[in-house]
Amino acid sequence: MRYTKLLEFLFIGFVNLANGQQSFIMEYNEHIDPFHALDTARTLQMYVKLNAKGVINNSLIKINRSHICTYHSDGTFQIVDSGTGIKVNSDFFPSVKVEFVNALKAHLHFISTGTDSARFFFKLVSDSVTVIEKQLKTSQRFTYTFNSKTKDIIQIENSAKQQNGNYYSVTKFTTFHRVNGILVPKQIEFSNDFATATLEYEKVSFK
């Protein structure tokens, strides 16, 4: 009887903890778009100043220029040089996995909780920061660091085990601003196994 009660207590505690993680993420998602402006938005366009360096196809690449990035709700996007209008290589731009009906949410760093293959864990909870880990069955792991009070995202770590070695990337969010009530990063720093980049977002608009 005592053993059964203990198992019941542990199960309820685990469920409440999982609910706590998902509740925090839902609050974070709501913080990005509190007035649900994305329910009708179909296009996100912004000028992106990119300063990057890295290795692509065994060649050292350095980029310091501005781009016009246009993202669509169906997941398609275009990146062109702001000066020439020529389509550019998007390898330096952080890729996102679209897990939402409106793909713009993925580009604005919403976090999906709707997949059965994902498990969430609190790694740290304090007055200043909250760290939540999202593990997928594909051996991929995302670690999110939030400002506990404002719910702003501070950092995303992405790590995965692959056949040709382990992958690791970090996206750091420096500043934000609101456009049409939607929270949009103003500057981010990105690094992975082959490149580092600083991206500044300007002239952001939704249609």
Distance CA 164, CA 182 (A): 39
pTM above 0.85, yes or no: no
Range in 39-43, 62-66, 86-90, 110-114 the model is least confident about: 86-90
From the list 24, 36, 11, the residue with the least C-alpha distance to 151 is 24
> Across residues 25-35, what is the average pLDDT?
96
Distance CA 32, CA 38 (A): 10
Distance CA 176, CA 80 (A): 23
Find where tokens 């996007």 sit. Answer: 77
**Segment (H or E) for 69:** strand 59-72
Q: Count other C-beta atoms under 10 Å from residue 180's C-beta.
A: 14
Find where tokens 């939607």 sit. Answer: 182
Distance CA 69, CA 110 (A): 19
Residues pairing with 178 in the sheet? 183
Domains identified in the chain and CATH numbers: 2-206 (2.50.20)
Distance CA 115, CA 29 (A): 16
Longest CA span, the chain: 75
The reported pLDDT for the residue numbered 162 is 76
Between residues 127 and 10, the one the model is more confident about? 127
Collapse the DSSP code of 14 into the 3-class scheme (helix H, G, I; strand E, B; otherwise coil) and give the result. helix
From the list 153, 156, 149, the residue with the least C-alpha distance to 171 is 156
Condensed to tens digits (0 to 9), the pLDDT of residues 39-73 reads 999 999 999 999 999 987 888 989 899 999 999 99
Which residues fall within 8 angstroms of residue 139, CB to CB, at 6 or more apart? Answer: 160, 161
From the list 118, 171, 134, 176, the residue with the least C-alpha distance to 151 is 176
Q: How confident is the model at residue 94 (pLDDT cuts 50, 70, 90)?
A: low
Region of 5 on the Ramachandran plot (φ > 0 left; ψ -120 to 50 alpha; else beta): alpha
